[in-house]
Structure 1
Amino acid sequence: MTGSNIRRSMPLFPIGPVMQLTELTARQIRYYEEHQLISPARTDGNRRMFSLNDIDTLLEVKDLIDQGVNMAGIKHLFALKNQETNPILKAEKTERELSNDDVRRLLRKEIVQAGRFNLPTSNPGNMNRFFH
């Protein structure tokens, strides 16, 4: 881990400032923790302490929710992201693997097309489970 990564991983922020920075409620933040999207550190008094990486993740989750992606879709995107950063899983990739940007672009396209034509997505068996 580089010095920058270590600093970004340091648990520095209690939940109050995180709520202000992300415009999320404490309940939303706890909900995302329950779904293991973030893992804040705990103090001896059991208070959550968040890192810059946790805040980035919360902002990313918030953006995805705003785009209409539900929790199952978010977990799927995060799993893909973890595959890209895990060297063991990276070696097992197939020839044509989509990047996170490709997946996001496809999800946005599906949302726009579904809204534009007032129809279900073009691949309902595959994509509908990711949207509200």
Structure 2
Amino acid sequence: MTDPSQGVFAISVAADLASMQIQNLRVYERRGLVSPARTPGGSRLYSHDDVDRLRRIGELLGDGLNLAGIARVLVLEEELRALRSRDRRRRSRTG
């Protein structure tokens, strides 16, 4: 299977997969909520991880959060994943 963080989707495909408008993806990129890869010519390439993140942004928008709130939630969710991963590694070492 391909690396889920590798950019493979054009912006139109990513927008369709995330059920969003293309212009929204551009806004989310400007706000730092998503960072698609770029081709040498400058076209955006969205990964499976990016599409998952866009779907999460859509969920949070649906819950009534604004973009600043969404940015904070995404950071906190990433910190939580990292802490859980670190905890699992510690537990596996101690038996």
TM category (shorter chain) comes to 0.7 to 0.9
| 1:72 partnered with 2:68 | yes
Give the corresponding residue for 1:45: 41
Q: 1:72-116 CA deviation, whole Å, 9 max, x = no partner?
A: 2111111211222446xx79xxxxxxxxxxxxxxxxxxxxxxxxx
Q: Percent identity between the aligned chains? A: 31
Give the corresponding residue for 1:31: 27
Distance in 1 between the 2:12 and 2:19 partners? 10
Structure 1: where are the runs of 5+ without partners? Answer: 92-132
Structure 2: where are the runs of 5+ without partners? Answer: 88-95
Matches within 5 A, 1:11-26: 11-26=7-22
Give TM-score scaled by structure 1 length.
0.58
Radius of gyration: which is bigger? Answer: 1
Shift of 1:41: 0.3
Considering Cα pairs closer than 8 Å and 6+ residues apart, tell me whether 1 or 2 has the greater RCO: 2
Give TM-score scaled by structure 2 length.
0.79
Give the corresponding residue for 2:6: 10
